[in-house]
Amino acid sequence: MNVDWPWPWLPRNVDKIAEATGEHLYLALLPVIVGLVISIPLGWAASRWPGVRLVLVPLAGVLYTIPSLALITLVPLLIGTKIIDPLNVQVPLGIYTVALLVRSVTDALLAVPREVTAAATAVGFRPTKRFLSVELPLAIPVIVAGLRVAVVSAMSLTSVGALIGIGGLGELITEGFKRNNAVEMVVAIALILLIALVLDALLLTVGKLITPWTRARQGANR
Amino acid sequence: MDPRAAGGEPVNSALDWLFNPDHWTGPTGIPTRILEHLGYTALTVVVAAAIAVPIGAVIGHTGRGTFLIAGLSNGLRALPELGLLTLLVLLTYVGLLPVVISLVILALPPILAGTYAGVRNVDRAVVDAAQGMGMRGSTVLWKVELPNALPLILGGIRSATLQVIATATIAAYVALGGLGRFVIDGNNAGAGSPDGYPQMAAGAIVIALLALVVEGVLEVVQRLAVSPGLRNATTRGRVSRIWRKPTPELVGRST
Amino acid sequence: MKRVIAGLATALAATLAVSACGSSDPLADDKSSGSASAGSLTIGSANFPESQLLAEIYAQTLEAKGVTVTRKFDLGSREKYMDGLKDGSIDLIPEYTGTLLQFLNKQAKEVEADEVYTALQKELPSNLTVLDKAEAEDKDAIVVTKATADKWKLKSIEDLVPHCGEVTFGGPPEIQQRPDGIPGFKETYGCTFKGFSALEPGAITTKALLDGTVQAADIFTTDASIEANDLVVLEDPKSNFAAQNVVPLINKDKVNDTVKAALNAVSAKLDTKALQELNTALDAPDKPEYADVAKDWLSKVGL
């Protein structure tokens, strides 16, 4: 059986593609942002209190191990959503993001040299201001690295939801599969790939821009 | 579909389905599906390791071609597995080969990254000592670097295995077996059917448990497989940092 | 720190802006239209192309008469979307008389078109009704390649029975439980297949049949790939598959004169040949959109 490659399908369906892309981004990125916000206080707690760290880090490891199709399927069981509900994809993505970033945040905060925090306190920074102005900024490179992985993974993971009818670009993949339309499939795959790589590069750049001291140090060493 | 339409508490229905003895026998039973699933995984990881370990080792040893490691890890992590799998099936045929090929592609980055990191991170002092003893390039690689890199290589294989277990669930969409079968079939059976959501949820629970068990087993294997020479006190400090598998930051996940 | 906040704020804003470009409610294919208020309703479709095409035809006919239509397509198999009909998330869906009857009453034995239709009306839930049935039928069928039919001299399912043990059968997962599916083959014909392959309806089922991955498959009778690939539909002398006339299944509250007239007009024009032609048009290599194929047909038949 021949596989059809209807290239004209692409320009004819720009609206459909755009809508699927918007849906995909809503499903993939919102949970990553929420996950990031949640993991900062959690990571801070884990870096400060070994007891918390002892619980959170293994827990994060366990959660990260659970396959996405399993979590997506179990969310209705856990929080009572219907089968076709964007939350079924967003909650697992949020969980994976937190599981990934809590480790990053914890490690990054633990790596801040004690002399630096001591100096900051000596100069008169109170704990909150010290955290926000000194420790967190120093942790940014590691957090950004973790965030890049989280975003790229999320873009790919979201398409799994199409298996049980939860939208995004994954639905273009399944529709193309059913109707023998290889162009539709390739377009969806390429878009997911491209957007993920663009977001990755974007995060890398933003990360470097907001941490000018890392660049300065490189310059000084030349 | 509302899980509650399956009748009674969704959790109870899922557990009922899970512990129903009918579902544990025969070619469509849980044990068979587990074995199928592990079979796909094992086949994939063996093939992927056979490809990625040599390449990663050479790149790590010579230091050339490192762009391949970073580029592949990034790019392949972004590749939607569902798309790759279904496209390959459409272009070839419905069977095991396209599925294994797409799973192998997915499993390569973690093993490549782990092997590269392992070989690269071997203590320079050890390598110098070996060269001082008269060992040449490839012998150094074989007898010194690889054994020292073993924890990280195994860590990479471990990450790959978990990744494949997660992705093999999708194989059911293209008519294969494995644990994804329960999720796909349950999804099609719809509510009002005892084989609907309860089957999906039961399948999901088994998938999650299998992943956790395999992860635990591989952790033990990784610890046991490290050469005794690396277990002594002087190196313990450095080695203990690399007990952890290549962290998610290195390999991420795409399913 | 200010820099960090600025950076994060930009990223956040950018993300939200881009995702807002898409639909705001990602799961309602909200393409509402229609000016005058001759009522409004939500049309659903099953997960195979013909269903979505029929639903699109219904939708366009109703919109032309001023009804406001919301489309929720590709909902899955009947087992999945029936709940939506019962609880009102969807009001109208194109259905097939025979399988719908057997879904509602597994013991139903009627196979002839009018008998099935009458029996169906009695079995429907209290809030649903069916309008006129079309002459067009699209039945499940056991289909083999010409090569297989020649090899085993197959014309009807009965001819296949002695070979069932050598055959892996392909079809949508739900036919393993449907009364006219795997259980039906066994009961009506005594045919037990060697194995079963769960395949998405559409291109992939045809492909598996042509590749020899399965030796027989459940392909719907109006599927364009049957003619395109010279496939053989095995006859069903014992009527395992009941009559399958296309019929609009609709919420009683949504039936008014406009809706009834519009949908019945469509059913009047829809015969099996028309349905086959619609499927062929949909399957053309350039993959036209459902909306265009529907529009072309409606203007061709003058609706």
Region for residue A88 given its phi and psi (left: phi exceeds 0; alpha: psi -120 to 50; beta: otherwise) = alpha
- Is A159 close to B80, i.e. CB distance below 8 A? yes
The domains located in chain A, with CATH, are 9-210 (1.10.3720.10)
Q: pLDDT confidence of C13, banded at 50, 70, 90?
A: low
Residue C101: predicted pLDDT: 92
Q: How many domains in chain C?
A: 2
- Assess A1–B contact: CB distance below 8 Å, yes or no: no
Candidate ranges A67-81, C26-40, C153-167; pick with highest mean pLDDT: C153-167
Q: pLDDT confidence of A220, banded at 50, 70, 90?
A: low
Long-range CB contacts (within 8 A, 24+) of A85-88 = A85/A166, A85/C27, A86/A26, A86/A27, A86/A166, A86/A167, A86/C26, A86/C27, A88/A161, A88/A164, A88/A166
Residue B246: predicted pLDDT: 40
Choose the weakest-confidence range: A91-105, B53-67, B153-167. Answer: B53-67
Does residue C184 sit in the same domain as residue C260? no
Burial of C190 (0-12, 13-18, 19+ CB in 10 A): exposed
**Prediction pTM value:** 0.84
Residue of A nearest to C285 (CA): A4
Q: What is the mean pLDDT of residues A50-54?
A: 91
With 90 as the cut, is the pLDDT of residue A114 above it?
A: no
Q: What chains are in contact with A, requiring at least 3 Cβ pairs below 8 Å?
A: B, C
With 70 as the cut, is the pLDDT of residue C291 above it?
A: yes
Does residue C83 sit in the same domain as residue C115? yes
Residue C1 lies in a domain: no
State the average pLDDT for chain A.
Answer: 89
Choose the weakest-confidence range: A188-197, B56-65, C263-272, C292-301. Answer: B56-65
Which chain C residues in 69-108 lie under 8 Å from chain A, judged by CB atoms?
Answer: 74-76, 80
- Is B211 close to A66, i.e. CB distance below 8 A? yes
- Distance (Å, rounded) from C-alpha B199 to C-alpha B193? 10
Residue C228 lies in a domain: yes
Residue percentage of chain B with pLDDT more than 90: 38
Nearest-CA neighbor of C95 among C46, C156, C40?
C46
Residue C26 lies in a domain: no
Q: How far is B209 from chain A (nearest CA, A)?
A: 8
Residue B237: predicted pLDDT: 43
With 50 as the cut, is the pLDDT of residue C25 above it?
A: no
Residue B11: predicted pLDDT: 81
Measure CB to CB from residue B188 to each of C173, C203, C204 and give the nearest one: C173
Contacts of B183 in chain C (CB under 8 A): none
Count Cβ–Cβ pairs < 8 Å, chain A vs chain B.
Answer: 173
Provide the CATH number for the domain around residue C165: 3.40.190.120
- Is B208 close to A180, i.e. CB distance below 8 A? no
Nearest-CA neighbor of C92 among C60, C116, C66?
C60
Does residue C95 sit in the same domain as residue C160? no
Does residue C79 sit in the same domain as residue C129? yes
State the average pLDDT for chain B.
Answer: 82
Residue with token string 């699109």: C56
With 50 as the cut, is the pLDDT of residue C56 above it?
A: yes
Which range of residues forms the domain containing residue C224?
142-233
Who wins on pLDDT, A139 or B230?
A139
The domains located in chain B, with CATH, are 3-251 (1.10.3720.10)
- Distance (Å, rounded) from C-alpha B125 to C-alpha A192? 44
Hey, of A7, A16, A23, which one would you mutate to test binding to chain C, going by the most C CBs within 10 A of its CB? A23
Q: pLDDT confidence of C33, banded at 50, 70, 90?
A: very low
With 60 as the cut, is the pLDDT of residue C190 above it?
A: yes
Q: pLDDT confidence of B230, banded at 50, 70, 90?
A: low
- Assess C299–A contact: CB distance below 8 Å, yes or no: no
Residue percentage of chain C with pLDDT more than 70: 87
Residue percentage of chain A with pLDDT more than 90: 54
Where among C214, C233, C252 does a domain terminate? C233
Measure CB to CB from residue B166 to each of A67, A84, A155 and give the nearest one: A67
| First-last CA distance in chain C | 65
Which stretches of chain A are assigned E, i.e. beta strand?
none
Contacts of B172 in chain C (CB under 8 A): 198
Hey, of B179, B188, B193, B197, which one would you mutate to test binding to chain C, going by the most C CBs within 10 A of its CB? B188
With 80 as the cut, is the pLDDT of residue B247 above it?
A: no
- pLDDT tens, position by position, B45-74: 999 999 999 998 888 888 888 888 877 877
Nearest-CA neighbor of B155 among B223, B201, B90?
B223
Does residue C146 sit in the same domain as residue C272? no
Residue C85: predicted pLDDT: 87
Nearest-CA neighbor of A92 among A23, A150, A171, A173?
A150
Residue C67: predicted pLDDT: 92
Q: What is the mean pLDDT of residues C239-268?
A: 92
Where among C211, C233, C255 does a domain terminate? C233
Contacts of B190 in chain C (CB under 8 A): 76-83, 174
Q: What is the mean pLDDT of residues A188-198?
A: 95
Does residue C113 sit in the same domain as residue C165? no
Does residue C45 sit in the same domain as residue C133? yes
Where among C206, C233, C260 does a domain terminate? C233
Hey, of B87, B93, B94, which one would you mutate to test binding to chain C, going by the most C CBs within 10 A of its CB? B94
Choose the weakest-confidence range: A217-221, C86-90, C125-129, C192-196. Answer: A217-221
Residue B22: predicted pLDDT: 87
Q: What is the mean pLDDT of residues A7-15?
A: 90
Q: How far is B28 from chain A (nearest CA, A)?
A: 19
Who wins on pLDDT, B240 or C98?
C98
Residue C33 lies in a domain: no
Contacts of B174 in chain C (CB under 8 A): 204
> At residue C232, what are phi and psi to the nearest 5 degrees?
-115, 125
Q: pLDDT confidence of C226, banded at 50, 70, 90?
A: very high
With 90 as the cut, is the pLDDT of residue B143 above it?
A: no
Does residue C252 sit in the same domain as residue C293? yes
DSSP C97-143: HHHHHHHH-TT----SHHHHHHHHHHHS-TTEEE-PPPS-B----EE
Which chain C residues in 105-124 lie under 8 Å from chain A, judged by CB atoms?
Answer: none
Q: What is the mean pLDDT of residues C76-100?
A: 86
Contacts of B167 in chain A (CB under 8 A): 67
Other CB atoms within 10 Å distance of the CB of residue C175: 23
Choose the weakest-confidence range: A81-85, A203-207, C123-127, C158-162. Answer: A81-85
Which chain A residues in 112-151 lie under 8 Å from chain B, judged by CB atoms?
Answer: 142, 145-146, 149-150
- Is B1 close to A84, i.e. CB distance below 8 A? yes
Residue B231: predicted pLDDT: 53
Does residue C76 sit in the same domain as residue C208? no
Who wins on pLDDT, A62 or C24?
A62
Residue C7 lies in a domain: no
Measure CB to CB from residue A83 to each of B1, B252, B253 and give the nearest one: B1
Residue B243: predicted pLDDT: 40
Residue B140: predicted pLDDT: 77
Q: pLDDT confidence of C88, banded at 50, 70, 90?
A: confident
Count Cβ–Cβ pairs < 8 Å, chain A vs chain C.
Answer: 108
ipTM score for this prediction: 0.86
- Assess C176–B contact: CB distance below 8 Å, yes or no: yes
Residue C163 lies in a domain: yes
Which chain A residues in 193-212 lie under 8 Å from chain B, judged by CB atoms?
Answer: 193, 196-197, 200
Q: pLDDT confidence of C11, banded at 50, 70, 90?
A: low
With 60 as the cut, is the pLDDT of residue C157 above it?
A: yes
Who wins on pLDDT, B228 or C139?
C139
Residues 6 or more apart whose Cβ sits within 8 Å of residue A152? A196, A197, A199, A200, B74, B77, B78, B252, B254
- Assess A101–B contact: CB distance below 8 Å, yes or no: no
Who wins on pLDDT, B102 or C79?
B102
* Bridge-based pairing state of the strands C68-72 and C40-44: parallel
- Is A192 close to B80, i.e. CB distance below 8 A? yes
Does residue C132 sit in the same domain as residue C277? yes
Q: pLDDT confidence of B7, banded at 50, 70, 90?
A: very low
Contacts of B191 in chain C (CB under 8 A): 79-80, 83
Contacts of C75 in chain A (CB under 8 A): 165
Does residue C74 sit in the same domain as residue C96? yes
Q: What is the mean pLDDT of residues C43-47?
A: 89
Who wins on pLDDT, A131 or B238?
A131
Specify whether the CB–CB gap between A178 and A44 falls below 8 A: no
Residue C8 lies in a domain: no
Residue C24: predicted pLDDT: 40
Residue C17 lies in a domain: no
Who wins on pLDDT, A33 or C287?
A33
Residue B5: predicted pLDDT: 53
Q: pLDDT confidence of B234, banded at 50, 70, 90?
A: very low
Does residue C150 sit in the same domain as residue C221? yes
- pLDDT tens, position by position, B82-128: 999 999 999 999 999 999 999 999 899 899 988 988 888 887 888 88
Residue B241: predicted pLDDT: 43
Q: What is the mean pLDDT of residues A66-85?
A: 85
State the average pLDDT for chain C.
Answer: 86
